[in-house]
Structure 1
Amino acid sequence: MSSLSSPDTPGPLGLAGQAEADAAARRLASAAAHTAAVKRRERLAQWHLLFIAVVVLGPLVIYPLVRLVMLSLTDAHGLSGHAYATFFSNPETRGVIGTTLGILFASASLASLLGVALASLLFFKPFPGARMVTRFLELFVAFPSFLVAFTLIFLYGSQGSVSIGLQRLFNLQTPPLDFLFGIGGVILAEVVFYTPFVVRPTLASFALLDQRLIEAARSLGANGAMVAFKVILPLAWPGIAAGTILCFLLTLNEFGILLVLGSAHLITLPVAIYSAATVDLDLPTAAAGAVVMLLMSLSLYALYRRVNSRKVKGAGHGR
């Protein structure tokens, strides 16, 4: 009697097992191919990073910074801290650092407060033309800082249009406005120039707020001040803090406004470094001052990155 099935012919269960094995093999092959592709992309990214570091960052950033540090740490006899000793032992250094920090905190604090207030007005109390003002503030950050200084001179200088107009209006013998070339003019110019740098990140933080929380607080009877300080500020503070720290960082490194409006008695750290390098021709001392200023800037930048990463994480959790 002939058999209904041959030993060499797989049954239904054998066919199903073979199909599963083939599918598993294909999945393994696909996973292996994907892993190999990921490794190739990682290697390619590493080569790109190495190329950028060697060809672009090397001659433009890394080498100058290394040379700057080495110049501040060496003299004719080799490694030495003489440049730093000269820089910090100079009796004028304390006054220079004090002037720098005073202008920094005055300008950046006022610019931050004004930026947050202006962003709050543009976002929560929009008025006709508010969008145009926002676009202008975005464009304003592309202007060079010394242009703001010259604009203030043309307007509020002793021979500026506003000053001459007031003189003629009130029949004065001398122009009434004479404050630009000094600490008052520098602070005014820096506040005007750096306020938009606070407005933009603050507006971005306000845009991420959950409006339902604000409406709920208002429905429970909270007034404007309570909503602002109990709801909006705790939620938007990472963006506000990031914009404020950025403002401090940029104000610390400001040079154009100081060069135009600073007087002979208003010497800040950037001006002192510039003077040591170009007037006194004391490059090691100038390099030491530049390294000190670089460390201050990097500290602010590290703080900015930390706060900004918290803002990004908070936005991700909010979504």
Structure 2
Amino acid sequence: MSSLSTPDTPNSISEAAADARRSASAASHTAAVKRRERAAQWHLLFLAVVVLGPLVIYPLVRLVLLSFTGPHGLSLQAYSTFFGNPETRGVVGTTLWILCVSAGLASLLGIGLASLLFFKPFPGARMVTRFLELFVAFPSFLVAFTLIFLYGSQGSVSIALQQLFHLEAPPLNFLFGVGGVILAEVVFYAPFVVRPTLASFATLDMRLIEAARSLGASGWMVAFKVILPLAWPGIAAGTILCFLLTLNEFGILLVLGSAHLITLPVAIYSSATVDLDLPTAAAGAVVMLIMSLSLYALYRQVNRRKVKGAGHGR
């Protein structure tokens, strides 16, 4: 006699058990993901409160509040004093002029060095690359003092030239001023462009370059028609980083800057330590902070494109 209901077969029982195990595994995985997300949020909160709070956030908030502090509470007097000073326009102009010349020359030198090291390797090129990476760790004022010991009026090179050509006075006397500042910043910040540019060159498809050369393209045509369009995100990121670091440079300016060379960092330092006008110094620092954050935002955007381009290339 046939039954109205068929009993569960072993296969259906095993499939139900497998479904239950998969559901339990998915639920366990979801719970683990949520636990990791909560742990990451707690770690971020701990980092913000314990590390970033007292070291970064609190000083920046105090700086901004100080720039809006007047004799009778909150005021824009510090900004009116800063921008109303007739010398401010000259200081900002000098800062931007030195920034563009120094960072521009450093970027060109860094791109040239990276191109030479990557496309025209020579004996010792790897050692030069390692030295440039180590050079980044040096403090900037050390470079300034090195240039003084070499090319100052009493430096070894200057004295050697004086004795060699029997001159009455040392022939080199340009370091303490615009020329010395630009030279020191170019020497110090060019390696900061080399590393991103080399990393960008490493992602190139060399077959495209070889194909362009086999079709009769000259070296300059290959550089501007093939290499530059493909490697520009890394080159641009290194250049923007160079501009950002040069904008915030202070050690070289303090060592080699003359009394007639007043830039924005030096003006802020003088307002705080000489004039004891902390609100005006804070206002100048906020202006400089906005400039730096703008460059950093541009650097992040270009660097993000660089990472996406490298991912698409793979």
Q: TM-score range by the shorter chain?
A: over 0.9
1:234 and 2:229 aligned: yes
Shift of residue 6, structure 1, vs aligned partner:
9.4
Distance (whole Å) between structure 2 residues aligned to residue 215 and residue 168 of structure 1: 52
AA paired with 1:22? Answer: A
Q: Structure 2: 5+ residue runs without aligned partners?
A: none
AA paired with 1:122? Answer: L
AA paired with 1:24? Answer: D
1:25 and 2:28 aligned: no
- The match for 2:269 is 274
Distance (whole Å) between structure 2 residues aligned to residue 300 and residue 180 of structure 1: 29
- The match for 1:192 is 187
- The match for 1:150 is 145
Distance (whole Å) between structure 2 residues aligned to residue 213 and residue 93 of structure 1: 51
1:313 and 2:308 aligned: yes
- The match for 1:257 is 252
- The match for 2:289 is 294
Shift of residue 7, structure 1, vs aligned partner:
9.4
- The match for 1:115 is 110
AA paired with 1:310? Answer: R
Distance (whole Å) between structure 2 residues aligned to residue 21 and residue 233 of structure 1: 60
Distance (whole Å) between structure 2 residues aligned to residue 97 and residue 49 of structure 1: 38
Q: Which residue, out of 69, 78, 89, partners 1:74? A: 69
Shift of residue 77, structure 1, vs aligned partner:
1.5
Shift of residue 76, structure 1, vs aligned partner:
2.8
- Aligned-pair identity in percent equals 85
AA paired with 1:199? Answer: V
Distance (whole Å) between structure 1 residues aligned to residue 80 and residue 6 of structure 2: 93
- The match for 1:222 is 217
- The match for 2:51 is 56
1:87 and 2:82 aligned: yes
Number of aligned residue pairs: 314
Q: Which residue, out of 38, 42, 45, partners 2:40? A: 45
Distance (whole Å) between structure 2 residues aligned to residue 78 and residue 230 of structure 1: 59
Secondary structure at 2:217 match in 1: coil
Secondary structure at 1:172 match in 2: coil
Shift of residue 189, structure 1, vs aligned partner:
0.2
Distance (whole Å) between structure 2 residues aligned to residue 33 and residue 145 of structure 1: 53
Q: Any idea what the Cα deviations from partners look like across 1:30-88, whole Å, max 9, x if unmatched?
A: 00110000001000100000001001100110000000000001223221100000000
Alignment of 1:159-178 (within 5 A): 159-178=154-173
Distance (whole Å) between structure 2 residues aligned to residue 144 and residue 77 of structure 1: 42
Distance (whole Å) between structure 2 residues aligned to residue 146 and residue 114 of structure 1: 20
- The match for 1:126 is 121
Q: Any idea what the Cα deviations from partners look like across 1:106-137, whole Å, max 9, x if unmatched?
A: 00000000000010000000001000000000
Shift of residue 8, structure 1, vs aligned partner:
9.9
Distance (whole Å) between structure 1 residues aligned to residue 41 and residue 303 of structure 2: 26
Q: Structure 1: 5+ residue runs without aligned partners?
A: none
Distance (whole Å) between structure 1 residues aligned to residue 5 and residue 216 of structure 2: 84
AA paired with 1:127? Answer: F
CA RMSD in angstroms comes to 1.4
Shift of residue 10, structure 1, vs aligned partner:
4.2
Question: Is the deviation greater in 17-26 or in 287-296?
Answer: 17-26
Shift of residue 202, structure 1, vs aligned partner:
0.2
Distance (whole Å) between structure 2 residues aligned to residue 225 and residue 156 of structure 1: 35
Distance (whole Å) between structure 1 residues aligned to residue 106 and residue 297 of structure 2: 21
Distance (whole Å) between structure 2 residues aligned to residue 134 and residue 123 of structure 1: 10
Q: Any idea what the Cα deviations from partners look like across 1:229-279, whole Å, max 9, x if unmatched?
A: 000000000000000000000000000000000000000000000000000
